[in-house]
Structures are given as C-alpha cells and as structure tokens.
Structure 1
Amino acid sequence: MEKAEHFSEEEFRKACAELEAPAWASGGWEILVESEDFRVYRLLDEQTQLYEYKAFGNIKNCSPALCADVYMDLKYRKQWDSYVKELYETKIQGKMVVYWEVNYPFPMCNRDYVYVRDRRDLDLNGRTVHVILAKSFSVPEIPEKNGIVRVSDYRQSLVIESDGKEGCKVSMIYYDNPGGMIPSWLINWAAKSGVPNFFNDITKACKNYHKKT
C-alpha cells in the first residue's frame, strides 16, 4: 500500500474521534432512519444547502479487518455493488487515483467521481481501528465525459472497529454535491434506502469474500 499523501495524521485522528464523541450526538444532526442494525443522520450545510450524512451500523460475523479489505477491493466491489457502472484505480503523476461511475435511475444522467483514498490501521486507546478516507481529486488525465455529470465536491470517512464479538461496527460520514437538478424523491431515497441497502450489500459481500479470492 502506498504512503498517504493527501490526508494528514490529524484527519485520520479526527475520523477516529467520531467513535468517542459522535458528531450526530449534538450540533443539529437529525435522524432519518433507525433500526436494530443501523442509523442514518443528516446535517444541512448552510452554504451549499446540501446535506452531509452520517451512518452508523453493525455488520455481523465479519471481522473489522475483513470489512476494510472488502471495502478497499475495487475489483470485488464491481461484483456486489449494482450501482457501479465503471470503477478502477490507476497511477497518475505518481499517485493512485480512483475513477468511479455510478448508475442513476432513468431519466437522470449518471454521475462520476475522480478521487484519492487511503487506509490506515490505527491504535485507539488499545483498540485497533481501521480508517479509510476519500476525497475528490481533479486530474486532466481523466476528463469529463459527455452525458455524465462529474461530481467535483466529494468526501467520505469510514471507521471500522470490533463490536466486541465476531462482527464489526462501522461509522461513515459522507458528503457530495451531485450537481444538476436532482429531484427530492431521489435524494430522500438515497438517504433513507441507499445507505441501509449499502450496509446489507457489504454484509453479504463480506460473507462471500473468501469465495472470490
């Protein structure tokens, strides 16, 4: 794994701090979905009038390290994530850059992302915590495509740790500006259904990972 160049130690530690003092516990976060295995919150960005999302869920019978491995494996993700149209990682200017095109429902245009990411396995008060950070990154080698909307403002943090049993706890903060005119029903669906579906899909992916490697 290449050394991270785009994320500071402070950014990784800040992501870990979510486990000790979750942002959704105060500061205007509102809950959208709550069930036995996951919760989804949102917070309005006053400048953009878009929402930042925070999701917290449990994945049973999957170790934290395995969950992090599954999430980082882009080739495998193309097998279990039905919203992936195109996904690959390539080296540009000495940096590993990810291209990701996401299927949107008709008649919406697909969206695509160009971003950098990195994973660190950290010690947090004696606990091993896996942290994955990602953010948008512009490179001329991957230009915009006709008919696809480029998402230029994207950031995500994923923190994974043991649930004390045989599973793991996952904390995710996500923000992007999808551009264009997105109908409110699609935004509501993505927040209320997309995140829970993602947790369900990655749970299945973790169970089947050993069969694919």
Structure 2
Amino acid sequence: MAPPFTNADFDAAIAEFQRPLEQTVTDEGWEAAGKVGELQLFRRSSKADGYEYMARGELVDVKPDIGHDVFVDLDYRRRWDQYKEDTLRVVEHDLAAKKASSDEEADAGCPKALHRIYWQQQHRWPIQNRDYYLWRESRRQDVDGETTWIILTRADTTANEPEHAGCIRVHDCRQTVVLQASPATPFSTSVYVYYREDPRGTLPTTLFDWALTKGVPAWMKRFVQACDNYGTGSYEGNILDGVPELTRVLDESMKKAFAF
C-alpha cells in the first residue's frame, strides 16, 4: 500500500502556514466568515457541494504541544467532545512506527504517527448521519528553528468496511492543521487550519451558516478548555452547547422548505 501522505504533502502544509494571509486570501478567493478570539475564519465555495474552510491566527494561552496532543488524543476527545467509542475510534494504531521498524525509514528528529480512524457525525432529522474512514498522520519537525506540529487527515478511499445503516459514507475529505509557538504572544500558538469535504448530498445553507456563527465558536471554547484541563484528570464541558440554537435554525429551515 502506498503511504497516504508524502513528504511533499507536509512541505505544502508548511508553505501554506508560512504564506502571508493577505496573499492567500487575495490569490485564492477566500471570503472572511467570522472571528473566534484571535482566529480569523474564512470560507469559499467548493467544487463539491458545500464549502472549503480556513482558519488563521492564534490560540492564546494554549501551548502548541498541548494543542497538538489534545487534538490527536481520541480517548480524551471522547470526553470533552462527548463522542461515544463506536462513533470515534482508532481502527489501526501507529502505522508509521510499524513501517519505520520494518524498512528503517524513521527520520531522526522528525517523530511521526500514522493512524486509521473511524468517525461518525450524527445529525438531527431530516439530515442523514455521515461517517468516515480517515488516514491521519502527525509529525513534529523543525521549521526555521521552531518546533512545529503538522497534522494531515484525509478520507481512506480504499475503505471496504460496509456502510452503516442510516449513514452516508464520505469519500472526499481533507484537513490540514499546523501549530507553532507564536512569535508575538508568549505561551500561545500560531495556527493554520484547512478543511473541505464533499458531504454527498444536499445540506441546507442554514447548517453551514450555523456552523460558522455558533458551532465553530462553541467547539473552540470547548477545545481551549480541554487544553487547560489536559493531564489533570478532569474536564467540565458540554458538546450540547448551542444545540438548542441549531434545533431552532433547522426547524425554521424545514418550515420554509415545506411552506406553500
């Protein structure tokens, strides 16, 4: 099996992280879509059905190594994001280590971890649930003298596991996350995030709008709180924050859809 990610993929992620934001926005047609703390959110229409998203800026009072560990630790993620084990789990562990031990390709000073993950996104009727089999590789490497964490995720297009009843299997999904110590703010992290997917089916625009105005800010609040509590053995958070608002938005969308 060919590796899901190459060194060139990681080089491209670093190049996007280092590229001036104004140049990225102007050259690639991104539109400002909001702000969460010191993170600016952008989106643009995707060739698929939906949008592509980008976030640039800083996570204040979150160190990059902690941000990385909280992001990739799925056991902890199930606690602070309240997923069940059957909807978010690692299917195959640490494939990079197995590959390195077998063909001696371990790169000194560039620790990496490759996992295969199952993820199910559960939605309220009438939107069908989506599920994903994903490759995710994380690397820590030196970039211009700064320790940098790069996390690449994409759909496993060769997955042959049967689809779950009531779920639409997403075959086109990609995410890039780059984290590096902020040069301007002590104990904080410079961030680049890119995300896109083809959800395979029509989703109401109200869902995309809610995600930007309510869903992402609520998730970021939980993420920062999870970083604060990482390693303490405690977490107080609730993924249900904002759900009543989402319910209201979807109800209004349904009323409009079936109004005569």
Percent identity, please.
31
Using the size of structure 1 for normalisation, the TM-score is 0.88
- What corresponds to 2:4 in structure 1? 6
CA contact (8 A) 1:83 1:103 kept: no
CA contact (8 A) 2:50 2:199 kept: no
Query: Relative to structure 2, which stretch is displaced further, 36-45 or 148-157?
Result: 36-45
- What corresponds to 1:197 in structure 2? 218
Change (3 A) 1:58 1:106: farther
| Cα drift, residue 25 of structure 1 | 4.6
- What corresponds to 2:258 in structure 1? none
Amino acid at match of 2:200: G
Instruction: Give the 5 Å matches for 1:19-168.
Output: 19-21=17-19, 22=21, 23-45=24-46, 47-82=47-82, 86-91=87-92, 96-137=115-156, 138-140=158-160, 142-164=161-183, 165-168=186-189
Instruction: List per-residue Cα deviations over 1:8-65 (Å, max 9, x = no partner).
Output: 11111111112221433532110110354221111223x3253211012422222101
More strand by share: 1
Query: RMSD value over aligned CA atoms?
Result: 2.2
Amino acid at match of 2:172: D
Moved over 6 A (4+): none
CA contact (8 A) 1:83 1:102 kept: no
Instruction: List per-residue Cα deviations over 1:91-126 (Å, max 9, x = no partner).
Output: 29x684100011213332221111101011121111
Query: Larger C-alpha radius of gyration, 1 or 2?
Result: 2
CA contact (8 A) 1:57 1:199 kept: no
How many residue pairs are counted as aligned between the two chains?
207
The CA distance in 2 between the partners of 1:98 and 1:24, in whole Å, is 31
Using the size of structure 2 for normalisation, the TM-score is 0.73
SS of structure 2 residue aligned to 1:212: coil
SS of structure 2 residue aligned to 1:69: helix
Structure 2 spans left out of the alignment, 5+ residues: 96-113, 235-260
- What corresponds to 1:15 in structure 2? 13
Amino acid at match of 1:18: E
More helix by share: 2
CA contact (8 A) 1:110 1:149 kept: yes
| Cα drift, residue 190 of structure 1 | 1.6
Structure 1 spans left out of the alignment, 5+ residues: none
